Amino acid sequence: MLILLALVERTPMDHWISDWLFDSHSRAFNLNDSFLFKRVLHDWARNIAYISALLILAGLAWSGLANKPRWRPPLVFMFISMFLSTATIAIIKYSSDIYCPNLLLEYGGQFQRVELFDFQPSNQPPGRCWPSGHASTGFCFLGFFYAARVYEPRWALPCLIAAIGLGVLFSVSQTIRGVHFFSHGIWTGLIIWAINIVLAAGLLPATTRAPEQPITEIRG
C-alpha cells in the first residue's frame, strides 16, 4: 500500500483515473447517481459498520449476562478500533482542504485543485474531501483481524481479507462516482492500519493460548 500510495502521489495517476471516468461531453461523472454505486455501495453499504457496532455492544451485554468474561476483551477491542478508526478519518477529513474531483473546475465543478500539503487559496472554502470517509466503513474492520489473531487465529485471515476487500470496494466505488480520487481510499486504509497497530500493541496480549502440554502415557 505504501508503494501504491507513493506511485499515485508522485505521478498523475489519480487524475488519469478520474479523467478516464469523466465524460467530457456531459461534463460529469455519469455513474455518480448510479443505483449500484450510490444506493447499494454507498447509502446501504455504510450501514454495515453501524450494524456491526450494535452487534458488538449486544455481544458485550450478552457476555455479562451469560457470565462469559473471555468474550469481553476481543469485543471491547473491536468496538474501540471501529470507533477510533472512523472518528479519526472523520476528523481529518473535516480539517482537510482537498476537494472531491466533481467539485474541481476541470471536472465540471467550481474550485481550483488543491494537492496534499498545498496552501488553500484564500477565496475558496475548505474542500473536506480527504481522506475517504466511506472507505473507513470497510477498513474499520481491520480491528477484527487483530482481535482474531490473538483470540481465534483461524478467523484472522478471513477477517483481514474481508476488511481489505470492503475498504477497496468502497474506495473504488467512490472513485467511479467521481466523489473521491483513488489515493483518498489508500490513505484511509493506511491511517486505519496504523491506528490498529498502535491499539493492538497497547490493548491486546501477545497470546491467550497456553502452551500445549505433552501427553504422557501411563502404563499400569
3-state secondary structure 78-128: HHHHHHHHHHHHHHHHHCCCCCCHHHEHHHCCCECCCCCCCCCCCCCCCCC
In this structure, the number of other CB atoms found within 10 A of the CB of residue 21 comes to 18
In this structure, the number of other CB atoms found within 10 A of the CB of residue 66 comes to 9
pLDDT of amino acid 150: 95
The secondary structure of residue 209, as a DSSP letter, is: P
Question: Domain limits of the chain?
Answer: 36-96+131-203
Q: Which three cell numbers, joined as nine digits, stand for 132?
A: 475517504
- Measured between alpha carbons, how far is 81 from 40 in angstroms, rounded to an integer? 25
How would you write the pLDDT of the chain (220 residues) with one tens digit per residue? 778 888 887 889 999 999 999 999 999 999 999 999 999 999 999 999 999 999 999 999 999 888 888 889 999 999 999 999 999 999 999 999 999 999 999 999 999 998 877 777 778 899 999 999 999 999 999 999 999 999 999 999 999 999 999 999 999 999 999 999 999 999 999 999 999 999 999 999 976 554 444 444 444 4
- Residue 119: partners with Cβ closer than 8 Å, 6 or more residues away: none
pLDDT of amino acid 217: 45
Using the structure block, give the residue that is written with the C-alpha cell 473504488.
172
Q: What is the pTM of this model?
A: 0.89
- Measured between alpha carbons, how far is 10 from 199 in angstroms, rounded to an integer? 30
